[in-house]
Amino acid sequence: MVFWIVKLYFRYSLAIGITSQQFSRQKFYSTLFSRTYALIANIITLGMVPICMWQVRSVFESKRHFPQLILITNDIRYTVSFLVILYTLLSRGFRDTAFKEMQPLLRTLFREEKRCGYKGRDGIRRSLRMLLLLKFFTLSWLCITEVIFLFYSCDVLVWVNIVRFFFLSNANNILEMVPMGYFLALWHIARGFDCVNRRLDQIVKSKSPRDQRELQHLWFLHTSLTRTALNLNKIYAPQMLATRFDHFIIGVIQAYWGTVFTFDLPTPWLWVVYGSVQYHVRILDYYLIDYMCDVAVKYHDAAKHSWSEIRWTKEISSYVIYANSSKLELWICGLFQADRSMWFGMISSILYYILVLLQFHMVMGK
């Protein structure tokens, strides 16, 4: 189930051009065709998306008389989204490098899980499986419902509207799909830390010299996981900063729109319900990314309280010293740490700016 989800994600990512990497048989690879296809898809997307956005803006303004602030925030939303898409496609090579960085670690992790007997459903902790399935659900919901909404918005099924629908659907899904790559990388790293921690607990309780020698191998794996997590975070940091800014802007504008369309403009209740559900699913989707950062750090810093009741060897003592001195801090461009506290801070800022927009709306409406 897990590998099916990962494979599906990479196939669709290749289809919309945000990566040239493919995932099959538990390894990443790219071909001349996939690299050429991704490059052509990026060029066409960057050329067509601003044209489609401008046409949609014109259609939106012609449908009815909207308050001036609605039109202004609509322009801001499209401008920010396009700039993030532009950076996302131009930085595709860096994200492909991140996947290549994961490749040797994944091979080592799969081999270690097989050797330790952690295979199938029992090999992955249930909480990690549920976290991945929940993230995949929120991502699928956002992508599918955005496509349905855009299709429903097409007044007439002529080729111009179909082309516009196609490129805008890809543009919206690019914004949703890219953070999933960061989530998957951290998910695999957290899974690796969990595998190391579980095996270490077994080794510490064992008196076998062979198990004690295995401690050095797990120590090296833990170090590799930490180093890879820091490198991946460094590669993804600018992308996640841009994505977080886009999420913040959309969060403020959509909440303002929801308030206005619910209480100030006549709107069918089905659209109000749709907008509310969509907004909360989007918030949950981004929360899961920050939560995944916390989970990775938690498994890295797993406490060894149960070890205090066992006689320590020299090797165990050395590992405990290493574990206590090793720190995993996922900073985003040196500005802030990616964790749940940052998510709550962002939600507080969104609520504050919603009130500011509503005040401007009332003043401009007089």
The lowest-confidence range among 54-58, 131-135, 225-229 is 54-58
Q: Over the stretch 199-233, which tens digit does the pLDDT of each residue have?
A: 777 777 666 666 566 777 777 888 888 888 888 88
Higher pLDDT, 155 or 88: 88
Q: 189: closest CA among 299, 339, 343, 99? A: 299
Residue with tokens 């396009």: 82
Range from 17-31, 64-78, 141-155 that averages highest in pLDDT: 64-78
The letter for the amino acid at 292 is M
Q: 167: closest CA among 147, 187, 181? A: 147
CB 107 within 8 A of CB 227: no
Range from 23-27, 57-61, 248-252, 320-324 that averages highest in pLDDT: 248-252
Mean pLDDT of 180-208: 80
The letter for the amino acid at 181 is G
Helix (H, G, I), strand (E, B) or coil at 335: coil
pTM of the model: 0.85
- Work out the mean pLDDT of the chain and round it to a whole number: 81
How is residue 337 written in tokens?
């740490």
Q: 154: closest CA among 143, 167, 173, 141? A: 167
- C-alpha–C-alpha distance, residues 49 and 4, integer Å: 30
CB 49 within 8 A of CB 168: yes
Residue with tokens 């989007």: 282
The half-sphere exposure of 70 on its side-chain side, counting CA atoms within 13 A, is 15
The proportion of the chain whose per-residue pLDDT surpasses 70, expressed as a percent, equals 86
Q: Where in the chain are the domains?
A: 2-365
What phi and psi, each to the nearest 5 degrees, are found at residue 12? -70, -35
Q: Partners of 29 in the beta sheet?
A: 22
Residue with tokens 């189930």: 1
| Widest pairwise Cα distance in the chain | 81
Tell me the DSSP string of 158-192: -HHHHHHHHHHHHHHHHHHHHHHHHHHHHHHHHHH
Mean pLDDT of 80-98: 88
Report which DSSP code applies to 118: -
Residue with tokens 């270690």: 112
The letter for the amino acid at 205 is K
CB 264 within 8 A of CB 352: no
Q: Partners of 336 in the beta sheet?
A: 332
* Strand-strand pairing, 336-337 and 331-332: antiparallel
Q: Over the stretch 158-175, which tens digit does the pLDDT of each residue have?
A: 666 777 777 788 888 888
